[in-house]
Chains A and B, each alone.
Chain A
């Protein structure tokens, strides 16, 4: 991109990134120190913190948050790497790749509800084996979901995060020249897993570090998943905070703000710990990696990861397959493995809403994601420009700023931002919703695009400009065209992020604009599986479409373009004749 005024652009975008975040942060920070005019609190003090630290539930929730928030991304990363190492470039794996997108696209709450039905004591697994094998006429009194250690929550998180990591990894494969390395390595006699472990994963990790951080922050702060499938006595810190924020006793908000601030600090601490752990791990394993052995015992770790990863995927698919069945169900009691009475009523009832919700959802998602793609390209190009002299891997100011919206827990931060929207008289406005969505979509798009974009061989563009100096045109038809797969992937991820937004839509839209997601979560609150089944199906449809298109279009683009071009040029010639 023939950018001018790179510094000026950097400044403007940085300001735009920082401003809403800063306002939201101040709106959380001040109440945390007991400054909150609407409640008549004008004196700064540490009282909210004393109250917070006196709450036993804070410590119990914190412990649970740390267990689930660290275990889930670790497992997700392990499984994702194993699956990639096992299946990369094998024909059947491409089928699995195509199946990943539904899981990525479907909103968290729907997956959690599906899992809940699959795994609970009255769930489908037990039904499948009852009563002929288990002898249960009634569900057993087991604790298989919402267990106090959060195992079911971790499973749900892994199911949600592993496909995201896999998706991101696959998008970066070309830039680390995975195929070439594999060919060379296998020619040298390395086993597939050893090769991945010793050569490819160490190259891959720095590129996907940012998505991993996002996953960690997500695990630590997720609300909707934890509400549905997480334990509730105590719940995770984010859910506990949400309850405090929503407490009718409005002074609880002060303590909740202090809690939100501490949750942010906890995220920073966990990420720092994660980095330290990674550094020491790669130091310790350096000798092993370069010892020249073609096989290794630790390869088995990857093998185990493959099995567990596939099991998790299988769980997800069964859970997702069960949801549509519910939407056609009239009666389905324990221990029936399938409904005893079917009906179209559930879907019929949902239909009138559909048009309205779909229109809102698509308008918001398409505008926000397109904007995010354009802004990301400008940002990345600016970054490339300004770091031309120094090394590309040197972090640019964007690389820090972009984290902020996704690392801050939504609950604490959006309330402060809502006050800003009201000042600007933008509350309840479609523009406000799109802006807030953009704030959450942009980081995902930027981070997904960053690796491939910066790894692009600039020589192609230089060569094109030498042949024919039309910088804008060449940027579009050479560089953007070559980056198509990455841009489409980023678009699909951004789109599904937008579709899944719940709190931002609700807070900016003040409930005046409903989307498929706000409606589905409102329905999920009633625990009615039939309603949720219908809603989740509708909600999943569009992201799945976009993901599918993101994989379907790029390889065929050029062929179609040429066909069209030939068609038109032939027509033109025939006309002129």
Chain B
């Protein structure tokens, strides 16, 4: 079994390098052959998919995918709903501690950033596999976005397969607010004029950490240093403007900066309760989905900052000790199909951005993407504007530790 993966990955690497056409086509045949092997092995396997389970619409989407995969590939996909992705990382680690190197309990994890780095650095992942998935080879353009090959600055190296893209958006209620603050500096001005109406999720919740990164990006004069590991640069000097900013913001923040919301979902609830004026999300269609469910008034709209907001890619990875690696690859490949990606980008389903290259799609699939409806509060790709890159993944931990030291004691 392992041999065929090695063969597949070698074939894929070769196929992707710029060899003469003839050689490529033979290699393609070889990789097709090994993909057939993978499909064969996958038949009848059960894939335990550990994915954050906090949003109904995403769980429903995964259930839809499970039904499709069952009928097409005879692979059973079971979602294990996590409250925190690091639970799954810990579980793989516990299994390694116990020497359970085969038939581990997790076959597929939805992750990115720090969790990916932790698993990759501790050799907890199977791979490389993603670059040999047929749909990856056909539809993904690695040059389209840096975040496809650099997950928070950690090289992906085929150890995880892209699933979707996210970008920070802000939400406000047009009924109470006509001109929302469109930069980090404006946000403070607004908070001073309207005390208690601005807040952000509590780091280390990932959206909270992202807010810190967004603020740092806009405030620091040393933007370039953010691409390097945090311990290789002068952290104090680079982040000084951020802390000065937060010191001011917290004085006029929601509940005087004594407590912070725990997640984007809680922020939307607070927006609906009118406790706060601006909510954040990493899900561009969050506002439309929540309006549809009756959790937000239909006067809520999304917007982004004038100079862009932070965006990233989220991935699927296979633990090194999975007992259903073939099945997991089949799932990862299905998730990259135009069918699955179009469904996922449908705002009323999930609204998560596709990772496929529009240019590489056949015209018929392009037309389907063009025909996707948008929710009333969802921004178009053009409106989303510029995506700011994630800083190197070491910044997350460093910023969180410093934040907790300053504001959580």
Which A residues lie at the B interface, using CB under 8 A?
A: 36-39, 56-57, 59-60, 120-122, 138-139, 141-143, 146-148, 227, 231-235, 243, 245-250, 253, 329-331, 333-334, 341, 343, 349, 415, 418-420, 422-423, 425, 427-428, 506, 510-512, 514, 519, 521-523, 525-531
Additional A-B contacts beyond A146-B259, A510-B91 (8; CB < 8 A): A120-B275, A141-B197, A232-B262, A233-B404, A243-B204, A246-B87, A415-B90, A422-B100
Q: A86 CA to B24 CA in the complex, in Å?
A: 87
Supply 9 A–B pairs (Cβ within 8 Å), ascending by A. A39-B122, A141-B255, A148-B259, A233-B404, A234-B409, A331-B297, A425-B100, A526-B55, A528-B265
Min distance, Cβ A247 to any Cβ of chain B, angstroms: 7
The CB with the most chain B CB atoms within 10 A, among A120, A243, A249, is that of: A249
Q: Digitize B176-202: 1 where CB-to-A-CB distance is under 8 Å, 0 elsewhere.
A: 100000000000000000011100001
Instruction: Contact check, B94 vs A422: say whether CB atoms are below 8 A apart.
Output: yes
Q: A249 CA to B90 CA in the complex, in Å?
A: 10
B98 within 8 A of A: yes
Q: Digitize B250-271: 1 where CB-to-A-CB distance is under 8 Å, 0 elsewhere.
A: 0000111011101101100110
Q: A139 CA to B50 CA in the complex, in Å?
A: 38
Instruction: Contact check, B98 vs A423: say whether CB atoms are below 8 A apart.
Output: yes
Q: Digitize B71-97: 1 where CB-to-A-CB distance is under 8 Å, 0 elsewhere.
A: 000000010111110110111011111
Q: A423 CA to B202 CA in the complex, in Å?
A: 37
The CB with the most chain B CB atoms within 10 A, among A60, A246, A510, is that of: A510
Q: A341 CA to B293 CA in the complex, in Å?
A: 12
Instruction: Contact check, A231 vs B294: say whether CB atoms are below 8 A apart.
Output: no
Contacting residues, chain A, for B54 (C-beta < 8 A)? 522-523, 525-526
Min distance, Cβ A130 to any Cβ of chain B, angstroms: 11
B45 within 8 A of A: no
Instruction: Contact check, B409 vs A141: say whether CB atoms are below 8 A apart.
Output: no
Q: A250 CA to B91 CA in the complex, in Å?
A: 12
B365 within 8 A of A: no
Instruction: Contact check, A511 vs B82: say whether CB atoms are below 8 A apart.
Output: yes
With A57-B404, A139-B275, A233-B408 in contact, do A422 and B265 touch (Cβ < 8 Å)?
no
With A333-B274, A525-B54 in contact, do A415 and B94 touch (Cβ < 8 Å)?
yes
Contacting residues, chain B, for A56 (C-beta < 8 A)? 405, 409
Chain B: CB-nearest residue to A63: B409
Q: A514 CA to B81 CA in the complex, in Å?
A: 9
The 8 closest A-B pairs by CB, nearest first: A141-B196, A511-B80, A248-B114, A422-B98, A122-B273, A526-B54, A527-B266, A233-B408
Q: A147 CA to B176 CA in the complex, in Å?
A: 28
Instruction: Contact check, A531 vs B105: say whether CB atoms are below 8 A apart.
Output: no
Contacting residues, chain A, for B259 (C-beta < 8 A)? 143, 146-148, 231-233
Q: Digitize B100-119: 1 where CB-to-A-CB distance is under 8 Å, 0 elsewhere.
A: 10000110000001110110
Name the one of A248, A334, A343, A418 contacting B117, with C-beta atoms under 8 angstroms.
Answer: A248
Instruction: Contact check, B269 vs A250: say whether CB atoms are below 8 A apart.
Output: no
The CB with the most chain A CB atoms within 10 A, among B86, B259, B263, is that of: B259
Name the one of B86, B94, B195 contacting A248, with C-beta atoms under 8 angstroms.
Answer: B86
Min distance, Cβ B172 to any Cβ of chain A, angstroms: 14
Min distance, Cβ A9 to any Cβ of chain B, angstroms: 31
Instruction: Contact check, A57 vs B81: say whether CB atoms are below 8 A apart.
Output: no
Name the one of B78, B81, B90, B297 contacting A246, with C-beta atoms under 8 angstroms.
Answer: B90
Q: A36 CA to B122 CA in the complex, in Å?
A: 13
Contacting residues, chain B, for A422 (C-beta < 8 A)? 94-95, 97-98, 100
The CB with the most chain A CB atoms within 10 A, among B90, B260, B263, is that of: B90
Contacting residues, chain A, for B274 (C-beta < 8 A)? 122, 138-139, 333-334
Min distance, Cβ B262 to any Cβ of chain A, angstroms: 7
Name the one of A39, A139, A233 contacting B407, with C-beta atoms under 8 angstroms.
Answer: A233
Q: A331 CA to B258 CA in the complex, in Å?
A: 29
With A233-B260, A248-B86 in contact, do A331 and B294 touch (Cβ < 8 Å)?
yes
Chain A: CB-nearest residue to B263: A527
**What band does the interface of chain B fall in when counting residues whose beta carbon is under 8 Å from A?**
35 or more
B155 within 8 A of A: no
Chain B: CB-nearest residue to A510: B105
Q: Digitize B398-409: 1 where CB-to-A-CB distance is under 8 Å, 0 elsewhere.
A: 000000110111
Contacting residues, chain A, for B115 (C-beta < 8 A)? 248
Contacting residues, chain B, for A243 (C-beta < 8 A)? 204
B305 within 8 A of A: no
B282 within 8 A of A: no
Instruction: Contact check, A428 vs B256: say whether CB atoms are below 8 A apart.
Output: no
Instruction: Contact check, B195 vs A139: say whether CB atoms are below 8 A apart.
Output: no
Contacting residues, chain A, for B202 (C-beta < 8 A)? 232-233
Min distance, Cβ A352 to any Cβ of chain B, angstroms: 10
Contacting residues, chain B, for A341 (C-beta < 8 A)? 294
Instruction: Contact check, A249 vs B297: say whether CB atoms are below 8 A apart.
Output: no
Instruction: Contact check, A122 vs B275: say whether CB atoms are below 8 A apart.
Output: yes
Instruction: Contact check, A522 vs B78: say whether CB atoms are below 8 A apart.
Output: no
Q: A405 CA to B404 CA in the complex, in Å?
A: 31
B337 within 8 A of A: no
Min distance, Cβ A146 to any Cβ of chain B, angstroms: 4
Q: A59 CA to B322 CA in the complex, in Å?
A: 40
With A146-B259, A419-B98 in contact, do A246 and B84 touch (Cβ < 8 Å)?
yes
Min distance, Cβ A555 to any Cβ of chain B, angstroms: 43
With A57-B405, A139-B273, A146-B259 in contact, do A525 and B83 touch (Cβ < 8 Å)?
yes
Contacting residues, chain A, for B352 (C-beta < 8 A)? none
Chain B: CB-nearest residue to A335: B274
Q: A330 CA to B295 CA in the complex, in Å?
A: 7
Contacting residues, chain B, for A512 (C-beta < 8 A)? 48, 78, 80, 105
Name the one of A232, A330, A523, A530 contacting B408, with C-beta atoms under 8 angstroms.
Answer: A232
Contacting residues, chain A, for B204 (C-beta < 8 A)? 243, 247
B53 within 8 A of A: yes
Name the one of A333, A519, A523 contacting B273, with C-beta atoms under 8 angstroms.
Answer: A333
Q: A227 CA to B269 CA in the complex, in Å?
A: 17
Q: A419 CA to B99 CA in the complex, in Å?
A: 9
